[in-house]
Structure 1
Amino acid sequence: MSGFIINRRRFLTVAGAAASAVTLSGCGAFDGFLSSQSPVRDVLASANSLTYRVQRMLIDADALAPEFSASEVRQGQRPNGSTDPTDADYLALKEKQFADYRMTIGGLVEKPLSFSLDELRNMPARTQVTRHDCVEGWSCIAKWTGVPLATILDEARVKPEARFVVFHCYDSMDLGLSGAVRYYESIDLIDARHPQTILAYGCNDEALRVANGAPLRVRIERQLGYKMAKYIKGIELASTLAPYGSGKGGFWEDLGYEWYAGI
């Protein structure tokens, strides 16, 4: 099993680097491979689907990612992705130290809701010391505190037809000549209800820093770091991922990354 994980990480790193190069340079060299009609992308999508099914069969739905002792936190959490959003609505919240922040949850729920940061902090919390594994090849152990996503889902009463949780974010990502788009990400309900999946507002016994996703980010400890959306604006329950972005389930997935990044 360890060999499978290592090889899979190598593939993700190469694929990720290629996709990143397309994004940063605006070069069209990989456009044919990343297009929805490309047979190469069809093969990658099939491999992703197979990986997802195999891991779901081999790993218990409630199996925990490794947790560590607090003494193993030896540095601040290394930032990944966006580190300082410049979107006007985010800057307005940041200026008031997120006093006006409200996270919404809607879509396929019986009871659409919104929560202030204080309301989230007053809910039953979970603290976990886990390792963040980045597709770029680095890792970092940190202590995270937040409300279990399952708690929020239970309060909103998810409808039976819902299959996915979609995270909408405040940060925009530049696509070169195509302009900027808001970051989004998604997971299935199995990972959404996993006990270690939390909406984190604290890191290493401090309020979450802007570089790490303040005021709120999701921690999905059994997947790679790009799945853990930061600067969360709202959560939407959906039966299909087709209406969002290019329909692949996330910003990076729309550029060729795997939707299921389990480790």
Structure 2
Amino acid sequence: MTPRLHIPRPHRRGFLTAAAGLLGVSALGGCDRFAASPTGQRALRAGEDANLFVQRLLLTPASLAKEFPDSEISPWFKPNGTIEPPDRAYKALAAKSFDGFKLRVDGLVERPQDLSLADLRALPARTQTTRHDCVEGWSAIGKWTGVPLAEVLKRAGLKPNARYVVFHCADTMEYAMSGGEDEAEPEKTANPSMETRPEGAENQASDSQAAGAEAPNAEDEASQGTPVRYYESIDLTDAYHPQTILAYDLNGKALPVSNGAPLRLRVERQLGYKQAKYIQRIELTEGLTGIGDGKGGYWEDRGYEWYAGI
């Protein structure tokens, strides 16, 4: 299938308006107040459109992110986001080395799929040594092996109105309590956020810990509320990019729990928070309004840009 760009390309007028608006913001003393205002929100959205416009203008759909020789692989690939999912079902799979794992592919597809790790490993694979750039300011180089997302989409067959690929993940980020408009703030889990990860937390995660830690029982989980699990999305242009893969190996070995086992997204021309970990389901959709709060991802619903091009 020929890759298609389904996000409308911003008009030149929109690009110039965005640039002018962002320049104006830089000259203001009350930037926080401006950013919280309707005008500020429109300007920030226009800035994101400008970023997407410039990236797609300068790069062809097949333009590759830089790849590195193995000699430059980082001695330790620092995890990002969640490093040890607390979820019962995930811990049960990790305890069995993910035997029984199935990737669900559904939504706007002709042939819904349930793919085991063996199924995924039997598909054509790609290996690439690339740099991960985190929004926190750090980078690491790793050697990823996985199945190109395009191969999975080809196997499922897209319906004509499919526009976005949504990734549903296993890691609970918080619990939303049921109730009315005055309900309490969602309860955060032990998952480290990108802003508040404890000092040295990255060193605490291991496959054995994730597999062996005591999992809460069903009643404990239910009492905490509805789990809000990580979710992310990309458009079909990035989905069909040759470097967009579902990675199951890192540096020649099975992906560690702290780095997203058994399966994580690598979309190499975007920042780290787009690289969804612990993927369990891939859904093809026409829009993003029904996903979380409608911005296309967990962090995007909390103010991050949907298009995080670098």
Report the counterpart of residue 22 of structure 1 in structure 2.
none
Report the counterpart of residue 108 of structure 1 in structure 2.
108
Aligned partners of 1:155 and 1:74: how far apart in 2?
34
Aligned partners of 2:185 and 2:243: how far apart in 1?
38
TM-score (norm 2): 0.72
Contact 2:35/2:44, CA 8 A, preserved across alignment: no
Report the counterpart of residue 44 of structure 2 in structure 1.
44
Q: Aligned to 1:244, what secondary structure does the other structure show?
A: coil
| Deviation at residue 42 of structure 1 after TM alignment | 2.3
Unaligned runs of at least 5 residues, structure 1: 1-10, 12-29
**CA distances 1:23-51 after superposition (whole Å, capped 9, x unpaired):** xxxxxxx89956xx843222211211121
Q: 115-124 or 210-219: which moved more? A: 115-124
Report the counterpart of residue 20 of structure 1 in structure 2.
none
Report the counterpart of residue 262 of structure 1 in structure 2.
309
Q: Aligned to 1:167, what secondary structure does the other structure show?
A: strand
Report the counterpart of residue 186 of structure 2 in structure 1.
178
Unaligned runs of at least 5 residues, structure 2: 1-21, 23-31, 176-183, 188-226
Q: Aligned to 1:257, what secondary structure does the other structure show?
A: coil
Aligned partners of 1:87 and 1:39: how far apart in 2?
40
Report the counterpart of residue 223 of structure 2 in structure 1.
none
- Letter of the 2:292 counterpart: G
Report the counterpart of residue 5 of structure 1 in structure 2.
none
| Deviation at residue 157 of structure 1 after TM alignment | 0.5
> Does 2:271 match 1:227?
no
Q: 1:111 to 1:202 in 2, by over 3 A?
A: same
Q: Aligned to 1:121, what secondary structure does the other structure show?
A: helix
Flag as ranges the 4+ runs of structure 1 deviating above 3 A: 30-34
Aligned partners of 1:255 and 1:143: how far apart in 2?
30
Report the counterpart of residue 162 of structure 1 in structure 2.
162
Larger Rg: 2
Aligned partners of 2:278 and 2:48: how far apart in 1?
27
- Letter of the 1:224 counterpart: L
**CA distances 1:33-73 after superposition (whole Å, capped 9, x unpaired):** 56xx8432222112111211221122111000000001111
Report the counterpart of residue 3 of structure 1 in structure 2.
none
Q: Aligned to 1:177, what secondary structure does the other structure show?
A: coil
TM-score (norm 1): 0.85
Contact 1:41/1:256, CA 8 A, preserved across alignment: no
Map 1:237-256 → 2, pairs under 5 A: 237-256=284-303
Aligned partners of 1:94 and 1:42: how far apart in 2?
43
**CA distances 1:77-136 after superposition (whole Å, capped 9, x unpaired):** 110000000011111111111001000101011110010011111211100000000011
Aligned partners of 1:252 and 1:101: how far apart in 2?
26
> Does 2:204 match 1:204?
no
- Letter of the 2:146 counterpart: G
Report the counterpart of residue 117 of structure 1 in structure 2.
117
Contact 1:104/1:112, CA 8 A, preserved across alignment: yes
Residue of 192, 195, 199 corresponding to 2:239: 192
Report the counterpart of residue 82 of structure 2 in structure 1.
82
Report the counterpart of residue 23 of structure 1 in structure 2.
none
Contact 1:76/1:204, CA 8 A, preserved across alignment: no
